[in-house]
Amino acid sequence: MRLLLAAFGLLAMAGPPAMAQALAVEEVAPGVFVHQGVHEEFTAANEGAIANLAFVVGQDAVAVIDSGGSLRQGRRLREAVEAHTGLPVRWVIATHAHPDHLFGHAAFAGDGVRFAGHQRLPREVASKGPLYLDNMTRLLGAASAGTELVAPDVTVPVGAPLEIDLGGRVLRLQAWPTAHTAADLTALDLESGTLFAGDLLFMERLPVVDGSLTGWLDVMAELAALPAERVVPGHGPAQAAWPEALAPQRAYLKALRDSVREAIEQGMPLGRAAEEIPLPAGQSWLLGDENHPRNVIASYTELEWE
C-alpha cells in the first residue's frame, strides 16, 4: 500500500498540484475529519506523513489542524478537504513546531488564510525550522520538494485562549507552558467536544520529550480537566476517549521521571543512565528503542537542575 502511495506521490510531483492524491481521512464526529499518521520514522516512502492531521468544517469555513511533513503532504490534505467540502480553508493551525506537523503549511497559503500557533511558535520556527528542513530534505529526498517554513501570523499567548469562528462552530485555541515542546497549542471544537491535542498526547508510539518532562506532566493534569469527549492525539489512533486516553503516556512519563531522578540521586552519570535505564516494565510502545534513551538524556539534563 505504501509503495502504491509513493508511486502516486511521484506522479503528483510531476503534475500540477491539483493532481495530488487526497489523503485518506475518517470523520470522527460530524464535520471533524482526521488523517491517521503511520508509526514510522521519516522516510521518502511515507513523505513525512507520520503525524495525525485534521480539519474541522463549519458553516462558512474550514480550519486545518496540522498540515503534515512536506508540502506534498499538505497538498494531499488540501485535496482531502476539497473532496469533503466546497468551503474555503480560512485557518491553518500548528500544534507545535515539529516538522511532521507544520511542513505542509505552504500548501494552504493564499488570500484570507490565517496561520495560527503558540505565541512562541515564531521563535521556534525561526531557531529550529532551518535544521528541521535540512533533516527532512535529507531523509525524504524528492518527497520534500517545495517544502518551506511558514511562520504563524496569529499567535496565542499562554493563559489567553483564542476562539475562532468557522460559522456556527467555534474552535478554542489554547497555548500551554513548556511541555512536549516550548510552543504547544491545543484546539477544542466546542460543538463536537473534540480535543486536538497535537503532540501533548502520544498514543501507541513512544512520547518524545523535547520541552520539559515535569512541565508536560503538569500540563497533562490541566488538560485532563478540559471538557472534551474525545481526543485526536498527535500520534496514535484517529480518536480516543477523553481523558482516559492520557493514562499510558502519564504512566510512561512518570516512570521516566522517577527512574531518571533515582539515577541522578545515585550519582549515575548521564552516559550510563542513557544506556541502562530501560523502558518501564509492562509498557509497550512503538519506536521506543531509539527514542527512550534520548528521552532519558533530555530528562536527565532537565532534572539534574532540581
Can you tell me which of 36, 144, 178, 299 binds another protein, judged by CB under 8 A? 178
Minimum separation from the CB atom of position 96 to Zn ion (A): 6
| Grid coordinates of 155 | 499567535
Can you tell me which of 245, 274, 279, 303 binds another protein, judged by CB under 8 A? 274
| Sequential DSSP letters for 50-105 | -S-EEEEE-SS-EEEE--BSSHHHHHHHHHHHHHH-SSPEEEEE-SSS-HHHHTTG
What does 199 interact with, of Zn ion, another protein, none (CB < 5 to 8 A by kind)? Zn ion
Can you name the residues that pair with 185 across neighbouring β-strands? 175
Residue 59 binds to another protein (criterion: CB under 8 A): no
Residue (of 166, 208, 204, 210) closest to 187 by Cα position: 166
Q: Check residue 210 and report its DSSP letter.
A: S
Residue 98 binds to Zn ion (criterion: CB under 5 A): yes
Minimum separation from the CB atom of position 290 to another protein (A): 8
Residue 199 binds to Zn ion (criterion: CB under 5 A): yes
Residue 159 binds to another protein (criterion: CB under 8 A): no
What does 76 interact with, of Zn ion, another protein, none (CB < 5 to 8 A by kind)? none
Three-class DSSP category at 244: helix
H helix runs in the chain, sequence order: 2-14, 71-84, 99-102, 121-140, 213-223, 247-265, 270-276, 288-303
Kindly list the residues in this chain that would bind Zn ion in the complex (CB under 5 A). Answer: 98, 199
Kindly list the residues in this chain that would bind another protein in the complex (CB under 8 A). Answer: 122-123, 125-131, 149, 151, 178, 181-182, 210-212, 264, 267, 269-271, 274-275, 290, 293-294, 297-298, 301-302, 304-305
